[in-house]
A and B are shown apart, each in its own frame.
Chain A
C-alpha cells in the first residue's frame, strides 16, 4: 500500500537537544497529522495541519504543512526523557473513506 517517506528512522539524542523529523510524499494531501506512540500504547494525536503553509505549535512541538502539500516536518525543542517514543506522520487525501496514509515512524530515544 501507499506510504509516506518519513525520516530519520531513528534518533538517539541527549536531553536538551532539539529534534527534527520530516515526511515527504509523491501525492498531495489535504491534511497532515503527527502522532506519538509511547511504548506499549496506541498512537496519540499531537498536531493536525489543515492548510498548506500552516505552522502550528503545541508546547515544545512545532509542525508545518508544506507549501507544495507533499511534505511536513515536526520539530521538538529542548527534548526531555518523556519525549521517548515513536513519532508517526500521516496524510489524508481527498478520498471520502477517511483512510490515513502513515509514515514508517521515527523512533526517538533521549539520553538523560
Chain B
C-alpha cells in the first residue's frame, strides 16, 4: 500500500514564525498536493506539484509556499504564521488519472 507520511500530527507555533510541514510518499507518485481543512469549508487546495521542482497554485495559496526538490517529498511553508492559518493540513499524492492517497494530517495551532 502507498504510504503518505506527514512529519507531525500536532504542532503549536507562535505568530510570525516560519513553519515547515513535511510530507513524504513512498510509491513514486508524480503528483502531490497540500490541502487545508476547516469546519464548514471542506477541503481547500493550497498548492500542488506534478513533478520535481514544479508547483502550481491552488485555490488559497496566499501566505504559503512549497518546495519539491525530490519526487517523494513535498514541503509546505508558512512564511510568517498567523492565527488564521490555524487549521488541519492534509498532504496527498497520486498517479495522474487515479485517486489520492492522503496522509494522516497535521493539526497546526498558531498562537
Q: Using a CB–CB distance below 8 Å, which chain A residues touch chain B? A: 1, 3, 31, 33, 35, 40-45, 48, 88, 90, 92, 96-100, 102-105
Contact = CB atoms under 8 A, between A and B. Distances in A.
13 contacts: A1-B59, A31-B98, A40-B105, A40-B107, A42-B103, A43-B90, A43-B102, A92-B97, A96-B96, A98-B95, A98-B97, A99-B48, A103-B42
Interface of B: 4, 30-31, 33, 41-45, 48, 50, 56, 58-59, 90, 92, 94-105, 107
A77 B111 CA distance: 43
Given A3-B42, A42-B90, A43-B90, A100 B100 contact: yes
A31 B45 contact: no
A98 B105 contact: no
A42 B107 CA distance: 11
Which among A48, A90, A98 has the highest number of chain B CB atoms within 10 Å? A98
Contacts of B97: 31, 92, 98
B34 to A, nearest CB: 12
B43 A102 contact: yes
Nearest to B58: A1
B104 A98 contact: no
Contacts of A44: 102
